[in-house]
Structure formats: C-alpha cells, structure tokens
Amino acid sequence: MQINLENDIKLHGLYVSSVGAKGKKLIKDEVNFSKNKLEEIDLSESSLTECIFSEAIIKKVDFFRAELYSSYFEKTIIEETNFTKVKGDFASFMNSQISNSDFVKSDFPESNFSDTIIKACNFTEIDIREADFTNSVIENVDFKLANIDQTILKNVKLINVKNIDKAMIESINIGSIDNPIILESKEAFDWLMKNNK
C-alpha cells in the first residue's frame, strides 16, 4: 500500500516526536512511502520496519533514534537529514545520493550502500560492519570511531574522507560477498589511507 507520509501523519493526528510528554510513537511496517517528497518532518523515535522510501526526495527529515530495520531508500535523494542513533540493520540505500546528513552513533550493519554517492556526511561512531559500499563514492565524510569490520569496499572511491585514521578498523573486504578479499587490521588501515585521495 502506497501512502503519503505527511498526510498520513495529519489524518491520524499523530505527533511523531515522542521525546516529549505529548508525543505518540509512529509505528508502520511494510508501508510504501516511495516517490514522495518528505521535507522537514519529525520522525524521531518512530518505528518504520521494512518500509519503502525508494525514489523519494528526503530533505531535513529527523529520524533521530528511529527504527528503520530492513527499510529501502533505493534511488533516493537524501539531504540534510538526521539519522543519529538510528537502528537500521539490513537497510538499503542502493543507487542513492546522500548529502549533508548525520549518521552519528547509528547502526547500519549489513546494510547496502552500493552504487551510492555520499557527500559531506557525519559517520562518527557509525556501525557499518559487513555493510556494502561497492562502487560508491564517499567524499568529505567523517569516519571518526566508525566501526568497520568486513565492510565491503570493492571499487569504492574515497575522496577526502576525514578521520579514517581514527576509525575502529578490524577488517575490510575489497572483493565481494561471493568472492571476498579480506584485509585485516593494519593492512586494511594502510589500504584505506592509500586510497583516500
């Protein structure tokens, strides 16, 4: 079922921000929000499991502490959006453009960021263990204390990535899931430093 998220919030009288006393948590599973323009919406602490945001335009949306498990943001334009402390295991951002957005202390293990352009984002303390960045462009992104373990970086283009030397690097996979080429610890660190242009 495809619905307009903003209208859905208004129709049901939901105040999504549940940080304060009057908020009611938005809970949606397997809902199709694709091809919508979502701008300046507060979805903090919402639960949007297995929802589809593909081919949407998402700007200045607050997903603070939201649960986005297995949700799809494929072929989506995401700008100035807050994913701080999001739980997003198995989410997919494949073929998307993400810019000026915060992923601080968020969890995106085993998520798909392949064929994605990621610019000027904050990935401080992000958990991207076993996430897939195949064929992606990562530019001006801060990786301070990012949790990197078996993260797939095949054909990734790193441009002025910040604080990669301060990331928690266990290993990287410069091959694929089916044909892994695992670089451990220091070798992984050296590869990242060498390929950060």
pTM: 0.89
pLDDT block averages, 10 residues each, the chain of length 197: 47 39 74 93 95 97 97 98 98 98 98 98 98 98 98 98 97 95 97 97
**Half-sphere exposure in the Cβ direction for 172 (13 Å, CA):** 23
Pairing mode, if any, of strands 168-173 and 182-184? antiparallel
Q: What ranges in the chain are assigned the alpha helix state H? A: 5-11, 185-195
| Triad 39, 44, 46: Cα angle to 5° | 105
| Res 23: pLDDT | 56
Neighbours of 70 (CB within 10 A): 16
CB 74 within 8 A of CB 95: yes
Residue 12: per-residue pLDDT: 36
